Structure 1
């Protein structure tokens, strides 16, 4: 078994190597000692996909829930190729007539995907690190699924700041994202569409933040997971040592 002293010695030994390759080697050596199953949670745009792909580049097996949900829905809707199916646009915005029905279909597909991932986790022999890139709506899954996910993985919430709200809303209005509003989109008389979104979106985020933090084993503040010098090694160190 490798201990921290061994890792430090290896770091010194490999100083002549390219810095990028050194980080890859040290990260793999260090975290193969203790296999890590991670679930990243948070709002769309918080950085879940960014970090899950970073971890994948270091040898983690990645489950991208949005990608898997897209495949599930595409198959059920009769698409021959799932990459021709724009799942986010299909779910649409909360003021569209089809949204409620399609949002429920999305949640049903998400439940199927998570059950498949959980079944997969039970079968692995603890020989590989795994990261689950969850959807923003994971908090709306049945308690049984969330409890099992909590038992099998370390759930990490990527926190955001109130200053992110406007940026995230602008992106959402310009690029449809499958967001489950959970009855938080409530237009009022004489209110424009943009005013409704501007009022309701922060309310949705605040309601979700409470659920994310309650579900997570650990929250990572934005100044850490967005730091200019943030690396996979630092990210994993924070998770495994906190």
Structure 2
């Protein structure tokens, strides 16, 4: 089901990809590029937001982003919202997988833009995702960690810490967040790599002129 050719961006054969990596790694950017090339795109973040619905409304009726809603791991409401988010994510992936497993959609080029927390959705879901798609890890090296951390603090995204945040008695919340983010990134990168069939490096995919065609060609050549 996952065999494909890469002659041009609008490839005729069935190509099914899941992009995996940290928030800020470029999953949404590349999934949109693939969508522009004719792929059907599933954006898990957007689908989770739909399921959360009224949860994302402020008292005045305006919408807040999911990062604002979830907050930081030291906020009083964080654990409850982390659990709600993960429950919605599992439901979203189950629905996407049911779609992928349906014979009537076998001829479609599809890209699944997963969240950074997809690795916490359970072994059964992840194995189904590996069966139905080629998982592509958009890796993040340690040297860009500080840049990603600054982006997270400045504009929070829904980040599941899963007990990897702990504040020492001598630390402020900000100090603990900085230290624990490094540990979180290291842990996650190992898990992404374990589930992925292909890795596209950070500096490679950011090279000037790197195209969808080149990405698809690399995916084909690196699949294991």
Using the size of structure 2 for normalisation, the TM-score is 0.90
* Aligned position for 1:49: 28
* Aligned position for 1:238: 218
1:49–1:133 CA contact under 8 A, matched in 2: yes
2:99–2:105 CA contact under 8 A, matched in 1: no
CA–CA separation in structure 2 for the residues paired with 1:83 and 1:238: 43
Q: CA deviation at 1:125?
A: 3.1
2:9–2:213 CA contact under 8 A, matched in 1: yes
Higher helix share: 1
CA–CA separation in structure 2 for the residues paired with 1:172 and 1:78: 19
**Any stretches of 5+ residues in structure 1 without a counterpart?**
8-25
* Aligned position for 1:189: 169
Q: Helix, strand or coil for the counterpart of 1:163?
A: helix
CA–CA separation in structure 2 for the residues paired with 1:100 and 1:73: 15
Query: What's the CA shift string for 1:117-174, capped at 9, x where partnerless?
Result: 0011112432220000000000001111011011000000001111111011111111
CA–CA separation in structure 2 for the residues paired with 1:233 and 1:78: 37
Report 1:104-183 matches (<5 A): 104-123=83-102, 124-183=104-163
* Aligned position for 1:62: 41
Q: Helix, strand or coil for the counterpart of 2:28?
A: helix
Query: What's the CA shift string for 1:24-68, capped at 9, x where partnerless?
Result: xx321xx21x21000000000011001000000000000000000
CA–CA separation in structure 1 for the residues paired with 2:120 and 2:201: 23
CA–CA separation in structure 2 for the residues paired with 1:27 and 1:110: 29
1:55–1:232 CA contact under 8 A, matched in 2: yes
CA–CA separation in structure 2 for the residues paired with 1:78 and 1:223: 35
Using the size of structure 1 for normalisation, the TM-score is 0.84
**Any stretches of 5+ residues in structure 2 without a counterpart?**
none
1:27 aligns with 2:6: no
The structure with the largest alpha-carbon Rg is: 1
CA–CA separation in structure 2 for the residues paired with 1:196 and 1:74: 31
Match of 1:98 among 57, 77, 80: 77
